[in-house]
Chain A
Amino acid sequence: MDLISILATVILTTTIATVLTGFVAYSAFKLRDKRRPKKHAQHVHQADGDQPIFFSRYVPEQSGRHDTTNINTP
């Protein structure tokens, strides 16, 4: 077996392995994505019809030049 044949065999084996890995990894990613709790998921059209959610954040007293704002504060 010459060098080119050996290298070609290595490339063929790796190509088969990576193609299989590609499909398996994609399936694993989709499976993991499905099992993840959807509670905090950001949906693309979320902003369209949802009501605003108001957070009760701690806002320190403003001092110096930096300005801290809570945009949801009425």
Chain B
Amino acid sequence: MVKRKHVALWLIIGALFASLGVTAYLAYRSIHAHGGSLWVLLQNGVLTAVSLYLLLILILLVVRYGVVILCSFMDHLESIQRGPAKYTEAELNSLPMVSLVVPAYNEGLVIQPAIRSLLQMDYPNYEIIVIDDGSTDDTYEKALVVAGESVDIPIRVITKRNAGKAEALNTGMSLAKGEFILNMDGDSKLSSNTLKECVRHFSDPRVAAVAGNVKVINRSNIWSRIQALEYVEGLAMARKAQSYARVVNIIPGPLGMFRKSVLQEVGGYDHRTFAEDCDLTLKLLVNGWHIIYEARAVAWVETPTSLLNLLKQRYRWTRGILQATAKHKWALWHPRKGGVNFYILWYMIFEGIIWPFSNLLSNVFFIYVSLQYGLIVLLFYWWVQLTLLDLIAATYCCIIEDEDPAIIPYAVLFRLVYINIIDIAKVLATIEEWRGLSMTWGKLDREGSL
């Protein structure tokens, strides 16, 4: 049976190549007979193929926007129906303990406001564990100062040799006393309702984790404002849509709450990738757990304000996500066994590899046809279609996230400048990952905006 299947496949491939060969031969004879140029034919063939490919990508993109916005809206309706978390006095007294784990490496500039924000949590039963991952600055000492200020909330400040964020989070997990663990970044500030909003989702025993909302706090220049819009769009559309299906594909580093027993069951974080959050999320999904996005639980983060720092961050994210994807790549080719991960991984491949390559290809294609054939108007219409999609998405996201509408016009700059530069970095980072070049974490310089 298997052999027959293979024979049929080879026959189809052979037939395809044969028909291509016959077509090429006929084309060559026709050109030869009319005194034409093979180069022009080749050029036309390539341009036609690229045009058809871009048309297909555009259709996929429009479908993707449509589906994502629809699912995101459904999740939004669910969220409205659920309303903000409210507990009775009796319920408040019986809420489970949550351990907040704050890994920090050279976060001296922001660690104090980050921990102080945790002391303001509107939740009766929690502890804070700060893991200093062998910082070379005064992170540890500064964390100790805030720990000394706390009267009601137990804070443990722990220092260990530098071994990466994944190890720091695993250390925090092993020391946690709570039934649930909230992992965050040392440069994040959480909204006071975070614990109440997240913990209620665990009443469903199938839920392993809740991903929080991440917002940009330092909207000081064009780069950070565009990123603010990018975060809002990414979370309010894709993350919300995934949440509707309970398959959020990345629990963000700045805010994710987990069932401790499940974290232990899957072996915690793996330090072999640079996107430990993405890798852990995929592990949870493989094991059949549900992951939800909670928009009301907000982590405020600093984003890079210079282009080079932004590229440094995106370089790590791109390679990290590719590493995590590669770890689970078997699911790409086994839809039955892979289950939901089959779709999630293909979605990540589309977002992380296919779309950046296609965007770069489209730019090169439109620049070429504009300069070579004067078809500049094609570029205009391509750009207008994408920018309209971005503007619609930005408006929708700002409405449902109750965000500042002043960031909507940045969708134009996002499409015109930002995404072209970021996609080039993604393409080059993908090539480096494919070549297996070594890399480092790429720690970002903090501004102290928290």
CB distance from A21 to the nearest CB of B (A): 6
In the bound complex, do residue A42 and residue B376 qualify as a contact, i.e. CB atoms below 8 Å apart?
A: no
Residues of A within 8 A of B441 (CB): 41-42, 44
Residues of B within 8 A of A55 (CB): 134, 159, 161
In the bound complex, do residue A25 and residue B380 qualify as a contact, i.e. CB atoms below 8 Å apart?
A: no
Interface residue count for B (Cβ, 8 Å)? 60
Interface residues of A in 25-41 (CB under 8 A from B): 25-26, 28-29, 32-33, 38, 40-41
Whether A72 contacts B160 in the complex (CB less than 8 A), given A19-B424, A25-B421, A29-B315, comes out as: yes
CB distance from B160 to the nearest CB of A (A): 5
Whether A53 contacts B377 in the complex (CB less than 8 A), given A12-B370, A66-B148, comes out as: no
Whether A8 contacts B380 in the complex (CB less than 8 A), given A25-B421, A42-B162, A67-B154, comes out as: yes
Task: Please measure, in the bound complex, the distance between the C-alpha atom of A26 and the C-alpha atom of B311, giving whole angstroms.
Answer: 7
CB of B440 closer than 8 Å to a CB of A: yes
Residues of A within 8 A of B311 (CB): 25-26, 29
Task: Please measure, in the bound complex, the distance between the C-alpha atom of A68 and the C-alpha atom of B6, giving whole angstroms.
Answer: 64
CB distance from B10 to the nearest CB of A (A): 41
CB distance from B387 to the nearest CB of A (A): 9
In the bound complex, do residue A47 and residue B167 qualify as a contact, i.e. CB atoms below 8 Å apart?
A: yes
CB of B156 closer than 8 Å to a CB of A: yes
In the bound complex, do residue B380 and residue A11 qualify as a contact, i.e. CB atoms below 8 Å apart?
A: yes
Residues of A within 8 A of B442 (CB): 33
Task: Please measure, in the bound complex, the distance between the C-alpha atom of A46 and the C-alpha atom of B292, giving whole angstroms.
Answer: 33
Whether A15 contacts B156 in the complex (CB less than 8 A), given A44-B273, A47-B271, A54-B161, comes out as: no
Task: Please measure, in the bound complex, the distance between the C-alpha atom of A68 and the C-alpha atom of B443, giving whole angstroms.
Answer: 26
CB distance from A7 to the nearest CB of B (A): 6
CB distance from A15 to the nearest CB of B (A): 6
Residues of B within 8 A of A44 (CB): 164, 271-274, 439, 441
CB distance from A48 to the nearest CB of B (A): 8
Whether A12 contacts B134 in the complex (CB less than 8 A), given A45-B272, A66-B156, A68-B144, comes out as: no
In the bound complex, do residue B162 and residue A53 qualify as a contact, i.e. CB atoms below 8 Å apart?
A: yes
Residues of B within 8 A of A14 (CB): 416-417
Residues of A within 8 A of B317 (CB): none
CB of B51 closer than 8 Å to a CB of A: no
In the bound complex, do residue B134 and residue A23 qualify as a contact, i.e. CB atoms below 8 Å apart?
A: no
Task: Please measure, in the bound complex, the distance between the C-alpha atom of A18 and the C-alpha atom of B155, giving whole angstroms.
Answer: 48
A11 interface neighbour in B105, B312, B379, B443, Cβ under 8 Å: B379
Task: Please measure, in the bound complex, the distance between the C-alpha atom of A28 and the C-alpha atom of B425, giving whole angstroms.
Answer: 11
**A-B CB contact pairs (8 Å), 30 listed:** A4-B380, A5-B377, A8-B376, A11-B380, A12-B379, A19-B364, A19-B367, A25-B308, A25-B421, A26-B311, A26-B428, A32-B308, A41-B441, A43-B438, A44-B164, A44-B272, A45-B272, A52-B161, A57-B140, A57-B159, A64-B148, A64-B151, A66-B155, A67-B155, A69-B156, A69-B157, A70-B158, A71-B159, A71-B160, A72-B161
Residues of chain B whose beta carbon lies under 8 Å from any beta carbon of chain A? 105, 134, 136, 140-141, 144, 147-148, 150-164, 167, 171, 271-274, 307-308, 311-312, 315, 360, 363-364, 366-367, 370, 376-377, 379-380, 383, 416-417, 420-425, 428, 438-443
Told that A5-B376, A53-B134 touch, could you supply 10 new A-B pairs with CB distance under 8 A? A9-B376, A22-B420, A25-B308, A25-B421, A29-B312, A40-B136, A44-B271, A52-B161, A66-B150, A69-B157
3 pairs of A and B residues whose beta carbons are closest in the complex: A22-B424, A8-B380, A47-B163
